[in-house]
Amino acid sequence: AMVMPDCGAPGAPGAIASARDLVEGYLEELSPQACASRVLVVDHDDSFTRNLVHMLQELGVVPTVVRAFGAQVATAPYGSVVLSPGPGDPANDSDVGISRGLVGDCLDVPILGVCLGHQLLARAHGAEVGRARCPMHGRSSTVRLEPAAAEDPVFRGLPEAFDAVRYHSLAVRAEGRLPPCLVPLAHAEEADGSRTLMALRHRTLPRWGVQYHPESIGSQHGLRLLGNFVDVVRRLALGR
């Protein structure tokens, strides 16, 4: 079942001092395996967050959901973070809340960003996010993997092309513009012949982003992708 931490006003007893407190919690009191089974899901007020939570539960991990807006009490340690989809712009603090601090503070904690979470990760590492040339809302596209995805653990076992549902008006501007620290993993070909980045990873940090919605019933291989991310978290916790 989901665990919902209480809210605390900034500076109040029990309120977090920094975004990192949300993730670290009481790591020293848990085994690496137990910590890896706990994932912090940051909800940007999006209905798809519930789908993500249900899929993570199906994979045997314990998701704790916190809203992105307002101080939160650190009630447990977390081995990874999932940044949910959501409306808004990753450039606006009012649209991402505590997620910007998590991305900035928790460099060694595995993070998976979905849609808005993907855009936030990309922007935090120097990529441009702007109006998509072909906005997509509730429509399916063929996602095609880049060569780098063949050796990426989160995309292990996924076919070179599969269908996925998209809901976004913004996109990471990738063609010739991605900073060296970000590796493109997938794209979609648009009706006008352009390409839109659908997935990326950080070159050295355990961070992945997907623009499409793997948690949608209309997306193929979503559970496999999330399962691969969970496996990566577990292996990192064990030092493998």
Pull the structure tokens for residue 75: 């009630």
Handedness of CA 126, 24, 232, 46 (dihedral sign): negative
Which of 146, 202, 215, 221 is catalytic? The answer is: 215
Does 215 participate in catalysis according to the annotation?
yes
Which of 44, 106, 115, 187 is catalytic? The answer is: 115
Does 168 participate in catalysis according to the annotation?
no
Which H helix or E strand runs over 81?
A: strand 80-83
Which of 125, 187, 202, 213 is catalytic? The answer is: 213
Residue 217 CA to residue 96 CA, distance in Å, equals 25
Does 115 participate in catalysis according to the annotation?
yes
Residue 85 CA to residue 102 CA, distance in Å, equals 15
| Strand spans (E) along 126-192 | 128-145, 161-173, 182-189
Pull the structure tokens for residue 165: 């549902």
Residues with active-site annotation: 115, 213, 215
